[in-house]
Amino acid sequence: MQTTRGSGLAAGTIFIGGGTTMRDQLDDRTRRLQDEAARERLAGPREGLRQHVGHALIAVGRAIHGLEPEPGQRTVLPVR
C-alpha cells in the first residue's frame, strides 16, 4: 500500500529540478508556516466547538442535579 497526497503523488516523493532545490522548498515552507503562526497569534483566542459543548454539558448537569452544596467547615482537632 502506498500513501498518496492530494495530487496523487507518492507521499515520500521529492522533486528536485527546474532550478529549485530542496533547501529552497524547505525555506519557503518554513517562511509560510511562520507567517501563518504570526497571523494566528494576532487573531487572539477563538472560542471553539469543544468549549461550547463543554459549557452546555455543565449547564445540563447543573439543571439535572442542581448546584453542589459547599462542604461544611471541618472541626479542628484539639492539640494534645
CA distance 26 to 28: 5
The greatest distance separating any two alpha carbons of the chain, rounded to the nearest whole angstrom, comes to 87
Q: Which amino acid is at 23?
A: R
pLDDT(9) > 50: yes
Render the burial of 31-53: b for 16+ CB within 10 Å, e for the rest: eeeeeeeeeeeeeeeeeeeeeee
Question: Tell me, what's the pLDDT at 8?
Answer: 55
- Which of residues 21 and 60 earns the better pLDDT score? 60
Mean local confidence (pLDDT), 13-21: 59
pLDDT(45) > 80: no
Terminal C-alpha separation, the chain = 75
52's grid cell: 461550547
Mean local confidence (pLDDT), 7-32: 71
